[in-house]
Each structure stands twice: as C-alpha cells, then as structure tokens.
A = this chain, B = another copy of it.
C-alpha cells in the first residue's frame, strides 16, 4: 500500500483527492494537514466522506509526513516549494497541484506569481505531470508539477497539430470556459452564488498565469515562436472546462487525416477520448471522471481548424491527473482508482 499524505486538504482539489484516494485499492491515507482545522475529522467538514474517510486534519507541525511514500500539495502557490526539499531529502515523493514547479524559468515564475522562488534548484528536476505527453518521465519522477487545468486542455488539443507542423504556431487563439470551482474554496464576493449564477463573463483577458505555462510547454514541440491568445471565461456551473481552440492550417489536409492524427496520437491514452469528427463534447460527459474528451471541426472546410476539448477541471484538470501521475510513479496501472464514470445527468 502506498502511504499518502495530503497538505492542505480543505480546498476543492483536496476534497477531490480524498474522494479519489478513498476508493483507490492501492492507497493508505496516512495524514492530512490543515493549519486551521487541527483535530477536526475530515468528514465533519465534508459530509460526503462520512463513513468513508475516518482521519482528522492535523496541524502541519504535528504530522510526520516523512513517513509517507508520497505527499500531495493541494495548497496555494508557495507552500510546496517551502516543504518539498525536506520531503524529497527524506525519500518522499512529492506531487504539487499548485504552480510552484510548473515553470522551468525562475524569472518567469517570479514575474507571474509575485513571490520569490525558494528552491529554484529543484525546477530542473521537477517533471511536468501531463502523462499523455510525458509518460516515461513521470514514471521516474520524484517531484511532479501537476499541470494547470486550462493548460491541460490547451496542450492536449494543440499538441498533435503543432507536432505535425500543421498550424501556424504564431496565431493560436484559445477561448476557454471554466466552472466556478476552478476559483477554489475561498470566501470571495465574486464567486458567490448570487454573483456568478445566471451570469457569464470573461476574466483576466489581458493576462493570465496559465499563458506562460502553456506557451513554455507548447514551445517544446515546434521551432516556430508560439504566440497564444488565451481568454478565460467563467461559466455558471460547478465543475467542467470547455476549451475552444482555433488554429490556422498552413497546408492542405483532409478532415480524415486530421481525425486520424488525433486518434493515433491518443490511442494508448486511457483518459483522452477522441470523439467522432464534428462532434460537440459536453462538459457533463466528464463530470466526476478523469476523462478528457475532444473533437475536431473545420467550418466550411476552410483554413481554420477548431479543437473542442472538455474535462472536469477538478479531476483531469487537477486531482485525477495527480493520482494518474502517482499510479505511474508507483508502478500501478495508470487508471487504477480512476474508473469513475461521469455523472450524467
């Protein structure tokens, strides 16, 4: 059994990790920390876990995380970088669901996240945990930077096109929409029910932290400088993410070839579902599951190719992807504990 610790289990990615790990046959939930909730049984905060998770939160200084085999950080940016070095030194593997190790370039990190990076020496060693594009590296990783939710959809959607050199990397437009849980479990007016229900808006249009992360990753697959316009929007739904990705084809290709390209790329990836050409994937078809679904469109058979990508932002976009990494790091089947079928309706 893999002994698992969770740092910061009071947010949405934390409770989602608990939901997944509680039914994972190879995991023993060992410790979960929270500065504020020391002593509170986890199931008192999240009644959905009553009878299923029987441990309590413990204060960070009381929990001996070095007894764990792996520790997940479901914390705000900056926490993992403070604790990861000691854990790694003690032989504990680390999976950070925040951004501390997503950017290889320290300066870029500090520019976007406005905090100094306290262990830049780990940046090179950290493996970007997008399993579908990085499977072998993940298997051998000791420190995982779990991808952002938006970047997951953008990379899996654009990758086959960029790698094949089919689209103009200098003119990418990603119009993305996320459910409100992406904003986290924080007391803020903007994400109150009465503010975000029956409403739709864009946010961060002039600049969002997921742009540099995505550009850095996409740049690995093309020599042409990547120019990405990324526009996030807030959808009045709890979970779900829908990315509408636009690319300009730079040479002729048939729709059948396009479709085959994607199907071939992801044929061994259990969590990427390439739907029939011209389908319209719905976010709810992934609700609560680790599946990402995508479909290709080509309006008027013109120069623009559209990739529609959906996922559950808390599962494939966060906690599920982290467990997927853990499975590989500990020689388990990639899909162990991740076979939940989406809740529809």
B-chain residues with CB within 8 Å of residue A195 when the two chains form the complex: 185, 193, 345
A49 → B minimal CB distance (Å): 7
B-chain residues with CB within 8 Å of residue A15 when the two chains form the complex: 344-345
Is the C-beta of A308 less than 8 angstroms from some C-beta in chain B?
Answer: yes
Query: A66-74, A126-134, A286-294: which one contacts chain B?
Result: A286-294
B-chain residues with CB within 8 Å of residue A308 when the two chains form the complex: 202, 205
Is the C-beta of A166 less than 8 angstroms from some C-beta in chain B?
Answer: no
* Contact assessment for B199 and A237 in the assembled complex, using a CB-CB cutoff below 8 Å: yes
Q: Which residue of B has the minimal Cβ distance to A277? A: B206
Is the C-beta of A180 less than 8 angstroms from some C-beta in chain B?
Answer: yes
Is the C-beta of A229 less than 8 angstroms from some C-beta in chain B?
Answer: yes
- Number of A residues near B (Cβ < 8 Å) is 88
* Contact assessment for A189 and B189 in the assembled complex, using a CB-CB cutoff below 8 Å: no
* Contact assessment for B244 and A47 in the assembled complex, using a CB-CB cutoff below 8 Å: no
A69 → B minimal CB distance (Å): 23
Given known contacts A339-B23, A340-B340, is B48 in contact with A201 (CB within 8 Å)?
A: no
Is the C-beta of A111 less than 8 angstroms from some C-beta in chain B?
Answer: no
Is the C-beta of A112 less than 8 angstroms from some C-beta in chain B?
Answer: no
B-chain residues with CB within 8 Å of residue A240 when the two chains form the complex: 198-200
Tell which of B46, B206, B286 touches A344, judged by Cβ atoms closer than 8 Å: B46
Is the C-beta of A89 less than 8 angstroms from some C-beta in chain B?
Answer: no
Given known contacts A293-B47, A299-B206, is B288 in contact with A343 (CB within 8 Å)?
A: yes
Q: How many chain copies does the complex carry? A: 4
Tell which of B46, B49, B181, B205 touches A278, judged by Cβ atoms closer than 8 Å: B205
A343 → B minimal CB distance (Å): 5
Bound CA–CA A111/B9 (angstroms): 37
Q: Which residue of B has the minimal Cβ distance to A278? A: B206
B-chain residues with CB within 8 Å of residue A77 when the two chains form the complex: none
Is the C-beta of A235 less than 8 angstroms from some C-beta in chain B?
Answer: yes
Bound CA–CA A186/B273 (angstroms): 28
Is the C-beta of A236 less than 8 angstroms from some C-beta in chain B?
Answer: yes
Tell which of B23, B194, B275, B341 touches A345, judged by Cβ atoms closer than 8 Å: B194
B-chain residues with CB within 8 Å of residue A104 when the two chains form the complex: none
Bound CA–CA A273/B343 (angstroms): 22
* Contact assessment for B273 and A50 in the assembled complex, using a CB-CB cutoff below 8 Å: yes
14 A–B pairs (Cβ distance < 8 Å), ordered by A: A15-B344, A47-B293, A48-B286, A49-B341, A51-B291, A179-B200, A185-B189, A198-B240, A200-B240, A200-B310, A205-B278, A231-B306, A238-B345, A246-B246
Q: Top 4 closest A-B pairs, CB basis?
A: A48-B342, A175-B175, A48-B344, A47-B285
